[in-house]
Amino acid sequence: FQSKLPNVGTTIFTTMSQLALQHQAINLGQGFPDFSPDPKLIGLVHEAMLQGHNQYPAMPGVPALREQISLKVNKLYDHSYNPETEVTITSGATEALMCSILALVRSGDEVIVIEPVYDLYIPAIELAGGTPVVVPMLAPDAQHGNYRVDWQRVRDAINAKTRMLVLNFPHNPTGIILTENDLDILEAIVADSGVFILSDEVYEHIVFGNALHCSMAKRSALIERSIIVSSFGKTYHATGWKLGYCLATATVMHEIRKVHQFTVFTVYSPMQYAMAQFLQDPAPYTELSRFYESKRDYLANGLKNSRFKPLLSQGTFFLLADYSGISTEPEAVFVRQLTVEHGVTAIPMSAFYQNPDAAESNHQLIRLCFAKENATLDAALDRLKEL
Ligand code: PMP
Ligand code: GLN
């Protein structure tokens, strides 16, 4: 029996969450908040159920929600996606990413991903019969405190076989974001090519220091070739609802919907009706960056009293912390010890590398999630300071 995905095991997020439970460790690993969505939003879900929204909604999603997403995207990024044909509601960003890759990547196509890379892209490309082409980021140095995209290497990786470039900014796990200058470079790189951009923008509302999120939807030259993916889970503290969406031109969306309709057909009716109403108030997403920035600062400042050295996170609800002053163990070994012996769970950054066990994939960095109550962060910091 030959596996279609011989290199895939249980995800690092499941593995570490299970280990945390087993050892009753404080879980700063898998990315989810330890607080609840707004009670008003929960009330709207309840109301939607009582109103009878409990059967299959339209295949591409509840029209009112698609309309609200289109309005929001237009307000933020100044491009109007047609809710009828260019917006689809999916089961989290995960389903949107998988459907986009399965719909567009053909056997023999090359797809460029940037490493460190979120865990689902490479297996999805392989399932579609494509070949992942891994472009490493530039490592932090004396001048730059965090990783950077090596655009020259992205440019060099593009050839006649390249079908797609997968981007994820704000970036999990490094927390780096794109600037307008990056968008300029990207536009130049893909001009005159047929390359699609699959842009995973699930952390679009979590950017720090007054920076603005640079969505592909801001540039007409990128819109025509981009599939933009986002997730309500990150923005509304509801990762367990698995509600997300994607945006693309009608021609491309037509293909993505063919896969979507045979993957899940459609998703959770009451949550969609509730989100359609809740989205009308911009405050929750416009205030989210400040909310998480103070949590980032809380964790980063706390770590200054420990031997962990935080890297500067510009977005997402993660930061990387360097433990080279504490241990020389590879990351996978260190995070195990951290859970079992010290009661704090983190994700090894090496899990975001194609070959996690290789020496060059180990940088003595762990990813910590700060989407937690300050009391949780305090408790974790107390333990981390003991190392
Ligand atoms: N992409 C990235 C970069 C993520 O970090 C995550 C989840 N944390 C997802 C996609 C999946 O999002 P969802 O839970 O909405 O499927
Ligand atoms: N994306 C989340 C993270 O990076 C995990 C989602 C999952 O467990 N698949 O932590």
Assign 3-class secondary structure to 173-196: CCCCCCCHHHHHHHHHHHCCCCCE
Instruction: Tell which atom from ligand 1 comes closest to the C-alpha of 91.
Output: 16
Structure-token pair, residue 291: 């909310």
In this prediction, residues 164-184 reach a mean pLDDT of: 98
CA distances to 6, 69, 98, 217 from 221, rounded to whole Å, are 38, 21, 24, 9
Round to whole Å and give the CA distance between 310 and 334. Answer: 16
| Per-domain residue ranges of the chain | 12-30+287-384, 57-281
Q: What is the pLDDT of residue 185?
A: 98
Structure-token pair, residue 379: 């408790």
Round to whole Å and give the CA distance between 83 and 247. Answer: 9
Q: What is the pLDDT of residue 332?
A: 97
Ligand 2 probe mutation, 32, 347, 369, most atoms within 8 A of CB: 32
Does domain 57-281 fall under CATH 3.40.640.10? My reply is yes
pTM above 0.95, yes or no: yes
Round to whole Å and give the CA distance between 196 and 228. Answer: 11
Tell me the CA–centroid distance for residue 89 and ligand 2, in Å: 19
**Residue 335: which pLDDT band, with cuts at 50, 70 and 90?**
very high
Dihedral, 243, 377, 312, 197 alpha carbons, nearest 10? -10
In this prediction, residues 119-136 reach a mean pLDDT of: 98
Tell me the CA–centroid distance for residue 304 and ligand 2, in Å: 26
Round to whole Å and give the CA distance between 289 and 317. Answer: 10
In this prediction, residues 70-97 reach a mean pLDDT of: 98
Q: What is the pLDDT of residue 385?
A: 97
Round to whole Å and give the CA distance between 57 and 74. Answer: 24
Quote the percentage of the chain above a pLDDT of 70: 100
In this prediction, residues 207-222 reach a mean pLDDT of: 97
In this prediction, residues 58-71 reach a mean pLDDT of: 98
Q: Backbone dihedral region of 209: left (phi > 0), alpha (psi from -120 to 50 degrees) or beta? A: left
Taking only the tens place, the pLDDT of each residue in 8-35 is 999 999 999 999 999 999 999 999 999 9
Answer for the pair 226, 78: CB distance below 8 angstroms, yes or no.
Answer: no
Ligand 1 probe mutation, 172, 235, 237, 349, most atoms within 8 A of CB: 172
Q: What is the pLDDT of residue 197?
A: 98
In this prediction, residues 24-47 reach a mean pLDDT of: 98
Taking only the tens place, the pLDDT of each residue in 217-233 is 999 999 999 999 999 99
In this prediction, residues 114-122 reach a mean pLDDT of: 98
Ligand 1, atom 12, lies closest to the CA of 93
Tell me the CA–centroid distance for residue 26 and ligand 1, in Å: 21
Query: In whole numbers, what is the pLDDT of the chain averaged over residues?
Result: 97
Taking only the tens place, the pLDDT of each residue in 228-266 is 999 999 999 999 999 999 999 999 999 999 999 999 999
Cis peptide before 284 (omega within 30 of 0): no
118 lines ligand 1 (CB under 6 A): yes
Round to whole Å and give the CA distance between 60 and 198. Answer: 19
Q: What is the pLDDT of residue 162?
A: 98
Q: Tell me which residues have their CB closer than 6 angstroms to ligand 2.
A: 11, 13, 30-31, 172
Ligand 2, atom 7, lies closest to the CA of 13
| CB count in 10 Å sphere of residue 360 | 9
Taking only the tens place, the pLDDT of each residue in 269-314 is 999 999 999 999 999 999 999 999 999 999 999 999 999 999 999 9
Q: What is the pLDDT of residue 299?
A: 98
Amino acid at 73: V
Round to whole Å and give the CA distance between 169 and 213. Answer: 8
Using CB atoms within 10 Å of the CB of residue 304, give its burial: 0 to 12 exposed, 13 to 18 middle, 19+ buried. Answer: exposed
Alpha-carbon Rg for the chain in angstroms: 20
Round to whole Å and give the CA distance between 203 and 215. Answer: 11
CATH architecture of 12-30+287-384: Alpha-Beta Complex (3.90)
Buried b / exposed e along 225-258 (16+ C-beta atoms within 10 A): bbbbbbbbbbbbbbbebbbbbbbbbeebbebbbe
| CB count in 10 Å sphere of residue 373 | 12
Q: What is the pLDDT of residue 129?
A: 97
Cis peptide before 173 (omega within 30 of 0): yes
Round to whole Å and give the CA distance between 262 and 267. Answer: 12
In this prediction, residues 48-66 reach a mean pLDDT of: 98
Tell me the CA–centroid distance for residue 242 and ligand 2, in Å: 11
In this prediction, residues 327-352 reach a mean pLDDT of: 98
Answer for the pair 132, 109: CB distance below 8 angstroms, yes or no.
Answer: no
Tell me the CA–centroid distance for residue 252 and ligand 1, in Å: 22
